[in-house]
């Protein structure tokens, strides 16, 4: 008989950033979760909101998800679609899927702990290592600060980096990208991320100028919800379009694929946890799309090690939970010379200081 969910708890934690992502983004919110099953196994997970929504996610977990989950079968793959339908009246994605991740990840952690394996080995390890790329929230940096950051990534052994674009003056973007490309040389990959700042016409204009610097992709050039405009943009530029950090369901990723994007970047928390991420990854593989997970390398890197194909893992400078001192235990992954490996641990290996015991 399968174990059932005996108890579930969640707690909101603010984690200060040592390198602020902007004047008003000096910390990120984590909702740490704990599930106990009827066989006594305990699992730890989390939800994550970098700016707003932490209290709303906490409320969904403490009330709607808690009440619907207690006594249910603890198999995350079977439970997730049931709870998604239960929450759907409050929204098919966004806060609801972010909250669902808090339970889904805790259940996967419990399953891996029961078998005394890491989550990568429970899912079926396919890689011992994956390439990582240096990333930063750096649009507000001066050019000198940006170039110093890129120099740190080069010194750290990264063969690929990503920088922000979308300044009010296109000439500023062009000059910054020009200088970064000169610093990187021709052998390292450069990705650029507009964070939804452009209109369609501005995106076409910008990419006609920036394409000269051979970007591997342009990330979120337009408002993420406007996939029709992404389809038009894909017809008008040569650089691959990457989307995903602000898509929350398998269905929206399917829509993005039909719109002609070349790269999908699911965030394992925003889509609702490991269960839906595995479906999104399978769909991407069937369509021949590149998949590179968004942020959270301590978690997304572990899952990517179990996925077929080659995946780049995003490593935002000075933003890893271990680096920020937010974890009870050593980080479950290590990134060295631009390469991610998992460490020796059981489960997800992610318990947060100040989280439920």
CA distance 217 to 140: 21
Cα–Cα distance list, 314 to 201, 229, 299, 342 (Å): 29, 26, 11, 15
Query: Which helix or strand (DSSP H or E) is residue 148 part of?
Result: helix 143-155
Length of the chain: 357
Catalytic one of 44, 162, 164, 345: 164
Assess whether 345 carries a catalytic annotation.
no
Catalytic residue among 44, 127, 248, 294: 294
Q: How far apart are CA 190 and CA 162, in angstroms?
A: 6
| Radius of gyration, alpha carbons of the chain | 20
Is the separation of the CB atoms in 349 and 118 below 8 Å? Answer: yes
φ/ψ of 237, rounded to 5, equals -130, 160
Task: Tell me whether residue 88 is exposed, middle or buried, using C-beta atoms within 10 angstroms of its C-beta: 0 to 12, 13 to 18, 19 or more.
Answer: exposed
Q: Based on the residue annotation, tell me whether 294 is a catalytic residue of this protein.
A: yes
Report the C-alpha gap between 148 and 71 in whole angstroms: 53
CA distance 17 to 242: 26
Say if residues 279 and 114 touch (Cβ distance below 8 Å).
no
The catalytic residues are: 164, 294
């Amino acid at each position: 008989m399968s174990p059932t969910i005996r108890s579930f708890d969640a707690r909101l934690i603010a984690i200060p950033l040592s390198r602020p992502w902007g004047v008003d983004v000096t910390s990120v919110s984590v909702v740490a979760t704990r599930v106990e099953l009827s066989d006594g196994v305990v699992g730890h997970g989390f939800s994550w909101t970098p700016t707003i929504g932490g209290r709303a996610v906490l409320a969904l977990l403490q009330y709607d998800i808690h009440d619907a989950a207690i006594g249910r079968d603890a198999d995350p793959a079977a439970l997730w679609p049931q709870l998604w339908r239960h929450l759907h009246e409050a929204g098919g994605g966004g806060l609801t899927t972010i909250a669902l991740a808090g339970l889904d990840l805790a259940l996967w952690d419990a399953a891996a702990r029961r078998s005394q394996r890491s989550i990568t080995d429970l899912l079926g390890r396919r890689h011992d290592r994956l390439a990582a790329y240096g990333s930063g929230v750096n649009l507000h940096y001066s050019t000198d600060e940006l170039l110093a950051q890129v120099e740190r990534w080069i010194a750290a052994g990264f063969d690929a980096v990503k920088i922000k674009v979308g300044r009010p003056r296109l000439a500023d973007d062009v000059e910054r990208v020009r200088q970064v490309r000169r610093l990187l040389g021709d052998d390292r990959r450069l990705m650029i991320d507009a964070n939804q700042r452009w209109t369609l016409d501005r995106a076409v204009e910008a990419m006609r100028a920036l394409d000269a610097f051979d970007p591997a992709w342009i990330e979120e050039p337009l408002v993420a919800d406007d996939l029709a405009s992404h389809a038009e943009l894909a017809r008008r530029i040569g650089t691959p379009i990457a989307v995903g950090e602000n898509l929350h369901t398998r269905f929206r990723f399917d829509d993005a694929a039909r719109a002609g994007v070349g790269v999908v970047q699911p965030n394992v928390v925003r889509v609702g946890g490991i269960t839906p991420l595995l479906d999104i990854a399978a769909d991407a593989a069937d369509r021949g799309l590149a998949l590179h997970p968004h942020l959270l390398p301590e978690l997304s890197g572990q899952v990517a090690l179990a996925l077929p194909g080659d995946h780049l893992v995003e490593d935002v400078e000075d933003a890893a939970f271990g680096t920020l001192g937010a974890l009870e235990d050593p980080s479950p992954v290590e990134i060295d010379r631009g390469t991610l490996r998992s460490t020796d641990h059981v489960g997800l290996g992610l318990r947060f200081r100040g989280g439920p015991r």
